[in-house]
Homo-oligomer: A and B are copies of this chain.
Amino acid sequence: MSETVQLIPGDSLITATPQEGRELAIKMARLIIKVTQPDAEIRGKLRGVYAEDPAMLIAVGQTVAIEFATIAAANNYWR
């Protein structure tokens, strides 16, 4: 991993709304895949695979759910 890759947009877990927190969770999950597979062309090809594979789509959902749990706690659940 190049240390200069931005892994968290804005370098903060704090967001104004739950919606933005959810968007951040999706981005953070994708950025891990990006640093693990830096080749954009390969990632594009793999994306075509998992976007049509129900088991992988469910696994994507689990990953986002875990990231979101952290973000939600960071924001005191936007209470």
CB-contact partner of A46 in B1, B37, B57, under 8 A: B57
Are B36 and A23 in contact, CB atoms less than 8 angstroms apart? no
Interface size of A in residues (CB-CB distance below 8 Å): 53
Cα–Cα, bound, A37→B55 (Å): 13
* Contact between B77 and A73, CB atoms less than 8 A apart: yes
Q: Is the CB of B69 within 8 A of A59?
A: no
Residue of B nearest to A14 (CB): B79
Q: Are B72 and A52 in contact (CB under 8 A)?
A: no
Q: What is the interface of chain A, defined by CB distance below 8 A to chain B?
A: 1, 3, 6-8, 11-14, 17-19, 22-23, 26, 28-29, 32-33, 35-37, 42, 46-47, 49-70, 72-74, 77-79
